[in-house]
């Protein structure tokens, strides 16, 4: 009788241990298997018509034509070029290169897709400020969007900076 009692006690202890183990592993798994988004891991397109607080309406890619006609609200000045240059160096050099010459002058472009020469006079003439602003904010054919990282104003400053690089 004594042995039966010890046996039952052992079985109970084993069952308890197993359940505890299951709870512990599930808890640990939960910590690693939840949906999480790391900064910079994914690009979330802004839903159409959304206006950021203190910002202005950003037209989606589908409305590029309307965006192309938007006038540049920021006058070219030393200050504007400096802001544009700073942001260009942060966000654009990896692909477009330090002088915006494109090709594989940007370190990432060698692994991605060679970029166009943005200083090209012909391209500069064909494109409006609004078109390039839209390109920066909502992205291009393969170029990622920078609407989350840059304000609309900052994108206009970058456009001004790109204009200053045009070959004559």
Choose between 15 and 118: whose C-beta lies nearer to ligand HEC. Answer: 118
Q: Binding to ligand HEC by residue 156, rule CB under 6 A?
A: no
Q: Does 95 bind ligand HEC (CB under 6 A)?
A: yes
> Is the Cα torsion angle 148, 152, 153, 158 positive or negative in sign?
positive
* CA atoms 90, 52, 39, 144: torsion sign: negative
CB of 26 to ligand HEC, least distance (A): 40
Among 132, 138, 160, 165, indicate the residue that binds ligand HEC (CB under 6 A).
132
Footprint on residues 29-48 left by ligand HEC (CB under 6 A) = none
Q: Which one, of 46, 72, 90, 69, lies nearest residue 157 by Cα? A: 72
Residue located via tokens 């990622």:
144
Give the Å distances, CA to CA, from 135 to 27, 54, 70. Answer: 45, 21, 13
- Count residues binding ligand HEC (CB under 6 A): 24
Interaction between residue 116 and ligand HEC (CB under 6 A):
yes
Candidates 58, 59, 74, 118; binder of ligand HEC (CB under 6 A) is 118
- In the complex with ligand HEC, the residue whose CB is nearer, 86 or 94, is 94
Instruction: List the one residue out of 105, 109, 118, 114 whose CA is nearest residue 159.
Output: 118
User: Where does this chain bind ligand HEC (CB under 6 A)?
Assistant: 88, 91-92, 94-96, 108, 112-113, 115-116, 118, 123, 127, 132, 135-136, 140-144, 146, 158
């Amino acid at each position: 009788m004594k042995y039966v009692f010890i046996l039952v006690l052992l079985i109970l202890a084993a069952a308890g241990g197993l359940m505890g183990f299951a709870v512990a592993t599930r808890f640990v798994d939960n910590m690693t298997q939840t949906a999480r988004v790391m900064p910079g891991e994914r690009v979330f397109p802004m839903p159409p018509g959304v206006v950021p607080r203190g910002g202005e309406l950003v037209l989606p890619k589908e409305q590029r034509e309307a965006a192309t006609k938007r006038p540049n609200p920021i006058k070219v000045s030393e200050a504007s070029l400096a802001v544009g240059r700073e942001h260009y160096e942060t966000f654009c050099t990896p692909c477009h290169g330090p002088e915006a010459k494109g090709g594989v002058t940007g370190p990432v472009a060698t692994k991605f897709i060679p970029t166009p020469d943005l200083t090209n006079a012909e391209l500069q003439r064909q494109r409006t400020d609004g078109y390039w602003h839209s390109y920066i904010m909502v992205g291009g054919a393969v170029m990622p969007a920078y609407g989350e990282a840059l304000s609309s104003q900052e994108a206009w400053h970058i456009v001004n900076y790109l204009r200053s690089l045009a070959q004559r």
